[in-house]
Structure 1
Amino acid sequence: MSDAVMTDAVMTDPAIADAVTDVQAMLDVISVQAVWCVPIRNGLGDITDFEVRAASPDAIDVHGRSGKELIGVRTLAMYPSVLDTPLWQSYLRVMRTGEPEEVIRYEHMEAVRGIPHRSIYTVKASRLRDGLLQVWTRHDDEERLAARQAHTERLGSLGWGRWDFVTGEAEWSPQLYLIHGRDPADGPLELEGYRAITHPDDYSVVENAVAELTTADGPYEFEFRIRVGGAYRYIRATAELSRDATGRPIEMHGVLQDVTDWRRTADQLMTVRQRLEEESQLTSHLQHIIMPVQDEPVVLPGMRVAARYDPAETAPLGGDWYQAIALNDDEVLLAIGDVAGHGVAAASAMAKLRHAITGLAFAHHDPAETLVALNRLLRRMRPDVLATAIVARYQPRSRTLTWTHAGHPPMLLVRGDKVRRLLHPGVLLGVFDEVAYTTASVRLEPGDLLLMFTDGLIELPGRDLFDGLDILSSTIEETMRTAPGDPLTAVTDVLTPSNTSDDTCILVARITPNNLEVS
């Protein structure tokens, strides 16, 4: 029987058709790169190729095909260099024995758009319903993620270290050497070595931290000064002990951040506080320093933007923030977020996220990559803090808005007097160590309004947030139908926080014609 005849037989086999339905349903709901293939056999029953019949949404091949675009692709027909490799032999053994196998760091060489391209994968193969399930991890993606992590550590001026009490070994990230002004050739500093570089006034702080760590059942955060060169630097440390089954400490992990510049700013703010008679004046001043708000709309490429911050009545210093800035003449960053809690701790975490998100945007991270980096930053620096955010990039040339969410209320798109919710949900920041986000895009029109806000605008005790969204949408639609003058100002002025015990950020952008835009 020829391959063509065999393929027709496979495609019309009712059992295979049922299996395709079941396997695709499974792959649709799992976050892995995976495909399920059926074997193509010759007249002697030997496997001559595999054909993809189901694929996970996250699956992507070396040519950039993803998800269901891979269905119908044959392994050797599309990737001929796989033939006679350990990977191909593994596929044949799995189909013969039924035992799953894993090929670690398989190196695949192939021309992509005429250019030789090297990719490294770890592939797990299993027999499933008379077919072959392939699940893979692409290691060059991991290497790019490691580079982005290093970039984030540099932006945040933080590094991580590990000290093994059993073997005496220690390990530092590259940024930790920079924070200490230490040559990597000298290796990590042993814990005992910190006494020699710690400011004498901070010995008690370090000793108290050691005492707390020996009894704590989680991370402990403290701040001390170390001598770097001829000056002292302020270091904020978060450390945690790992223990064996008997409870004996065997390892310590720590994240250290150089907060010298922040501390100097804080000291300057304390000087300001001494000149103020009322604490409320201080909190207002602090909020403006951390997140200044323009009194009038600002002009950015392709849009005008108005913003407002309404502090909580009971706790004026909060964690709500926004950002609206031109990255260049062709692109604008719009972002908004909410750090859980109030007071200096929430405002400090908010400032870190706001500054980090701006740096990441200038480093050409897309919104999804930015949120992954922010989540990693938050988990390392403030594992006790949760936050929500929306990050968007607008390109006025094509009038394209690309965005993603992290547990935040949706943006609203106002076109004419109709309001539409731009939904693209993702997990909160700070919940899990490893997260993934995707982006969505929409083309905007001149005159469109974009509304981003924090939950203080729509929440009330006992009321669902979606009820608040409905009321907000109705208010905006009525304003657009009846209010004279500038819609940007009219909508911004009519928005009133429903929960005055929580701070609220509001950002409204109106799309303007742009002489750079293309159809």
Structure 2
Amino acid sequence: MPPHPPAGTPAPQPPERAAVDALINRTHRLRGDVDAVRRDTVLVDEDDPRLRWQRALCDLAVHQLDDLGAHLGQLRQGLPSESAEQIATEAADLTGQAPSAGERPGSLIGRVGSAEWNLLTDEVSWSDDLLQIFGRTPEAGPLSLDDLPSVLLPEDQPLLTALVTDCLIDGKPIDGEFRIRHTDGRTRTLHMMGEPVLDADGCTASMWAVLRDVSALRRSQQAVHRTQDSLRRQQDIARAEHRMAVELQEAVLPPWRGSLSLPDQGPGSLDIAAHYLPSDSSGLIGGGWYDAMELPDGRTLLTVGDLTGHGIQATSTMAMILGALRGMAVAGIEPGALMGHLNRLLETSIQPALGSAVCCRFDPATRRLDWAQAGHPAPLLFRNGAGRPIPQPDGVLLGAASGVAYEQDEVHLLPGDVLVLHTDGLARGAGSTHHGLRPGTDTLLGLAPRFSDARSAQECVRTVVEEFGGAERLDDACVLIARIGA
């Protein structure tokens, strides 16, 4: 019995794959165009600062487009990915940081600035944008290479020193990131790309660089990573809970497989078989059960039932209910009174739940079946190639009301009769409702000729599984079939 979602609740819709594919194609084309411009700038005069600047901007754009392509690929694969604006907003909320000065609201592309340090004259030239990135006024001016590490976080200072040293001494290009402490007190992440500028003798005369504030981009990536990590943790927890629920269910439900004969010998013995069908719409285990056991007085208990919910809570409550039911049946409590006790047990449980159940007690000597039900489908009786529901005694759902009484009825069975007990999830969504019957009951009753030809209860169960095993069920289901012997 799955819980019903509130009326009007919209189902979550995944992004249209065609739209994502179109964005990926457009990104790839743009990346190719930018890369072509970047290749052209390699051939130009290296002494032209403006062209060096253009090439550096192309390099940065290629990096950005590669990042964008990776995020779109994640979105197409169904991983947690959001639009750039949504991620930037979430990252700002999580870190308590507003966008950096110069960042466009909702944009991951921060302000870009340029710098050049002349090693021969000690002259330093910074663009106005770079001064704003560092939070420095024109009066304060730019920072020398010796002073630049002082504004970095201590743990990032060795990285910058290594990058600058490799550039000036070994002529290696600079490509790295470091964090600075802005004058407003906040931490910013900068991406720096640069190269040495050589004089006519091949010696390093100056070093130029392009720096971009990538704080919003890195915060957005961290938000994506946190989302992915959270999803993985949730998946791990779900798998663990599913495994525990399966193990608990297997430990509680009867261990017998195939047909069971109760009592072992004598007239009126029952040939019994049962089956559990998992839900097709959910990987979670529900609170359904079936059981059959011989009582101390020689009679036989037959029961099926179902509880709302899924997972550990449902299976643990089912274990409690089934254990109480078995104990009271062994103690000789009548089915109607037994249902009343189960109702009070659910009322006082620390894990509130609703449940439906049917409890039957069969006397092999008289072939009389005493039974009661709590908001559950009536057992179906098949005789002489035809089937019908047994008239129901009154009974409300377990846990739905306090102080209610459950009626008890009896029916006399004949040799060869087939009794089918099932939970509501078996037939949900199958067939239609006719003559006041529950949905799917007509389909079950239509199996009467096959039940009549079956040679065992297990063969009858296989027939039910063949008919309903492929149906789309919102809940798991149990079926128990008993054939009355001569």
Bin of the TM-score, shorter chain as denominator length: 0.3 to 0.5
TM-score, with length taken from structure 2? 0.46
For the pair shown, the structure with the greater C-alpha radius of gyration is 2
Larger relative CO (CA 8 A, sep 6+): 1 or 2? 2
Higher strand share: 1
